[in-house]
């Protein structure tokens, strides 16, 4: 690990705006730029008004398609956002009386998005009158043309970034398209789909036509938004909070309940982060290892027996995914050792390829390398055609990975066949013969970034007063959530005296720390034997930690979850 710099988050607004909260809580919110008490009220009525460009056209087209019994096909994407968006479209449009089907491209056969081949497949499979994309399509110019050549109308719903003109579809709904003045650019694909369907439903309701009760589908919106690591601005926090509450109260899709049961999680205890770390990976595993149909069918299931069978399948695929990912990461680390890269002489970017790596998990491995070495990372795997390789890129704060790939593509057009994505994550396809050249040019481009970006920084909320290390503080923090991307869960730092230490199973470190006033608190860190350099001879530790609840034998106590330790 490179030396981590510990810094305190700056105050972005004033803590004085929250006089009713304990001072530590007011500071946490001010460090996240919360401007007013209003932003803590996560009622659905405060959702942004539906001013999305293209929304009215899309509503009119779908409304007519339902009334005229036209056949609609949804073209989804093979991740959790795509799966939840697809399920949401199918459920809500069916409830409104539509004749609707779905198609998710097999990532290994067709790649990403509405390609001309997918347009052909949709036509051959369903002969639809209307094709609607979810979580993809903003770059699919050729695919849209091909669909229209089969006499289909096309509506694109997407949230990915684009600097180009939009395809000439009948309607395009994407807060990130040029000329859209919708104030939040952070909607996930499922959030865009929700806005479209909710407004379609109310449009139909006002005319006395069949509509849908959209609130019942907020569990899907919350899951897709969080699993896609969308920024939790005020609007997304409202959506995630509403969906999370439905899951906690068991008012969710039976497939979500089944997945939680198999993962051994109590719905009532669920946190927003579990959407990303418990449910998300199991849904994603379908698209990574097999076909996303399994994930979508699990979300669509209405009877428990079918839902459980599919949830077990997803759980097994996730275990398989974790094994392959672990093996690939080890191979990548060995490869780096061969290059004799140490922490002080790392290249500006880590770009790796192996003929035998699995396309479905390259994104996760890239993410793990980025975390461990604090470098933008791209991991490639062979494509079936034997000519191309597909890469998944993950980036560090301050380096916009999609824009960097675009720059390479513009300056060296022969190097990049396809790319798309966001600031922190992107995908691309290149020719295998160009790997070394791409690697060199991409790494040189990244190397032009400012040096301090390559210094890993752990941001904290400062020291928590010792008397606040108690359960009521954990509850206060929980109630201010949901926490997530761009609205991070509070992290504190402090110097503590160590009273006792134990290594559990040789890998987990447990400490008992003095809090002064004769009281003590337990602190735990999992799988840190090779990360924490703990010296029991030194009585003091400097910790970066999260406050947590420890539930054991019916007792609940406060504990620190250690993220970083220095002595």
In this prediction, residue 420 has a pLDDT band, given cuts at 50, 70 and 90, of confident
What are the φ/ψ torsions at residue 425 (nearest 5 degrees)? -150, 140
| Angle formed at CA 217 by CA 213 and CA 223, multiple of 5 degrees | 165
Q: What is the DSSP letter of 487?
A: B
What is the CATH class of 45-317? alpha beta
Q: How many helices (H) and strands (E) does the chain have?
A: 18, 17
pLDDT of residue 133: 98
Report residue 385's pLDDT band, with 50, 70 and 90 as the boundaries.
confident
Mean pLDDT calculated for residue range 65-80: 96
Domain 349-448 has CATH 3.10.310.30: yes
Which sequence spans correspond to the domains of the chain? Answer: 45-317, 349-448, 460-566
Instruction: Tell me the pLDDT of the chain averaged across its residues.
Output: 94
| Side-chain-side CA neighbours of residue 178 (13 Å) | 7
- Is it the case that residue 343 has pLDDT exceeding 70? no
Condensed to tens digits (0 to 9), the pLDDT of residues 94-140 reads: 999 999 999 998 877 777 789 999 999 999 999 999 999 999 999 99
Q: At residue 1, does pLDDT exceed 50?
A: no
Q: Please give the full DSSP string across 327-356, using - where no structure is assigned.
A: HHHHHHHHHHHHTT--GGG--SSEEEEETT
Q: According to the 3-state scheme, what is the secondary structure of 142-162?
A: HHHHHHHHCCCEEEEECCCCC
Q: What is the pLDDT of residue 288?
A: 86
pLDDT at 422: 81
pLDDT at 2 > cutoff 70: no
* Cis-peptide, bond into residue 482, ω within 30° of zero: yes
CA proximity to 158, closest of 210, 228, 219, 92: 228
Q: How confident is the model at residue 340, as a pLDDT?
A: 64
Given this model, what pLDDT does residue 112 score?
Answer: 77
More confident residue, 523 or 333: 523
Q: Tell whether the model's pLDDT for residue 286 goes beyond 90.
A: yes
Burial track 52-81 (b if 16+ CB lie within 10 A, e otherwise): bbbbeebbebbbebbeeebbbbbbbbbbbb
**Stretch 352-366: mean pLDDT, rounded?**
93
Nearest-angstrom CA–CA distance, 407 and 514: 53
How far is it, in rounded angstroms, from Cα 241 to Cα 233?
Answer: 12
- Give the per-residue pLDDT at 344: 64
| pLDDT for 42 beyond 90 | yes
Residue range 159-185: average pLDDT?
Answer: 94
**DSSP letters of 271-326?**
-HHHIIIIIHHHHHHHHHHS-THHHHHHHH--SHHHHHHHHHHHHHHHHHHHHHHH
Q: Is 327 exposed, middle or buried (0-12, 13-18, 19+ CB in 10 A)?
A: middle
Q: Are 28 and 18 in contact (CB under 8 A)?
A: no
> What average pLDDT does range 427-437 have in this prediction?
96
pTM exceeding the 0.85 threshold for the entire prediction: yes
Please state, in angstroms and rounded to a whole number, the distance separating the CA atoms of residues 2 and 457: 10
Arithmetic mean of pLDDT, 272-300 = 95
Please say whether the beta carbons of 492 and 475 come within 8 A. no
Same topology for domains 45-317 and 460-566, yes or no? Answer: no
CATH C-level class of 460-566: mainly beta
Q: What is the pLDDT of residue 335?
A: 83
Taking the C-alpha atoms of residue 463 and residue 545, their distance in angstroms, rounded to an integer, is: 10
Distance CA 263, CA 432 (A): 39
- Least confident among 103-107, 258-262, 528-532: 103-107
pLDDT digits over 176-229, tens only?
A: 999 999 999 999 999 999 999 999 999 999 999 999 999 999 999 999 999 999
The pLDDT, as a whole number, for residue 342 is: 58
Location of structure tokens 């347009």: 119
DSSP code, position 446:
H
Q: Give the strand pairing for 5-8 and 457-460.
A: parallel
- Buried b / exposed e over 266-298, threshold 16 CB at 10 Å, is ebeebbbebbbebbbbbbbbbbbbbbbbbbbbb
């Amino acid at each position: 690990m490179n030396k981590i710099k510990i810094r305190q988050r700056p105050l972005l607004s004033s803590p004085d705006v929250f006089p009713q909260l304990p001072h530590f809580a007011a500071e946490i919110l001010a460090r996240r730029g919360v401007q007013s008490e209003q932003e803590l009220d996560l009622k659905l009525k405060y959702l942004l008004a539906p001013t999305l460009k293209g929304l009215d056209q899309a509503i009119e087209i779908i409304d007519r398609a339902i009334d005229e019994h036209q056949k609609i096909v949804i073209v989804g994407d093979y991740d959790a956002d795509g799966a939840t968006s697809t399920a949401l479209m199918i459920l809500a449009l069916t409830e409104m009386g539509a004749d609707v089907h779905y198609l998710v491209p097999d990532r290994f056969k067709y790649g990403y998005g509405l390609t001309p081949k997918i347009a052909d497949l949709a036509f051959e499979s369903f002969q639809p009158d209307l094709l609607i994309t979810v979580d993809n399509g903003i770059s699919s110019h050729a695919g849209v043309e091909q669909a229209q050549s089969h006499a289909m109308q096309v509506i694109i719903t997407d949230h990915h970034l684009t600097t180009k003109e939009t395809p000439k579809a009948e309607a395009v709904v994407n807060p990130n398209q040029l000329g859209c003045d919708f104030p939040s650019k952070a909607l996930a694909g499922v959030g865009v789909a929700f806005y479209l369907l909710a407004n379609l439903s109310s449009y139909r309701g006002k005319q006395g036509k069949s509509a849908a009760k959209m609130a019942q589908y907020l569990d899907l919106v919350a899951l897709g938004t969080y699993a896609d690591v969308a920024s939790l601005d005020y609007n997304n926090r409202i959506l995630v909070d509403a969906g999370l509450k439905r899951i906690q109260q068991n008012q969710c899709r039976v497939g979500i309940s089944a997945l939680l049961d198999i993962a051994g999680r109590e719905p009532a205890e669920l946190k927003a982060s579990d959407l990303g770390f418990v449910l998300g990976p199991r849904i994603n595993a379908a698209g990574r290892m097999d076909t996303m149909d399994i994930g979508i069918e699990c979300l669509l299931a209405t009877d428990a027996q079918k839902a459980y069978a599919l949830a077990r399948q997803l759980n097994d695929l996730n275990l398989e995914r974790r094994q392959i990912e672990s093996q690939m990461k080890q191979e990548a680390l060995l490869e780096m050792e061969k290059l004799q890269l140490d922490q002080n002489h790392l290249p500006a970017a880590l770009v790796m390829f192996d003929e035998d790596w699995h396309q479905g998990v390259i994104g996760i491995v890239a993410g793990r390398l980025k975390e461990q070495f604090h470098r933008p990372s791209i991991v490639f795997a062979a494509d079936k055609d034997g000519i191309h390789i597909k890469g998944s890129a993950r980036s560090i704060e301050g380096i916009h990975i999609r824009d960097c790939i675009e720059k390479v593509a513009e300056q060296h057009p022969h190097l990049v066949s396809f790319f798309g994505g966001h600031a922190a994550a992107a995908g691309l396809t290149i020719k295998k013969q160009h790997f070394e050249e791409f690697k060199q040019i991409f790494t040189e481009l990244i190397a032009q970034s400012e040096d301090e970006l390559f210094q890993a920084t752990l941001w904290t909320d400062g020291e928590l007063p010792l008397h606040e290390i108690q359960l009521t503080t954990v509850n206060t923090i929980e109630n201010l959530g949901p926490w997530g991307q761009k609205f991070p869960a509070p992290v504190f730092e402090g110097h503590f005296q160590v009273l006792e230490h134990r290594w559990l199973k040789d890998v987990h470190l447990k400490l008992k720390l003095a809090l002064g006033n004769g009281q003590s608190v337990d602190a735990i860190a999992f799988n840190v034997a090779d990360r924490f350099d703990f010296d029991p001879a030194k009585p003091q530790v400097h910790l970066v930690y999260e406050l947590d609840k420890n539930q054991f034998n019916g007792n609940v106590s406060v504990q620190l979850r250690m993220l970083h330790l220095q002595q």
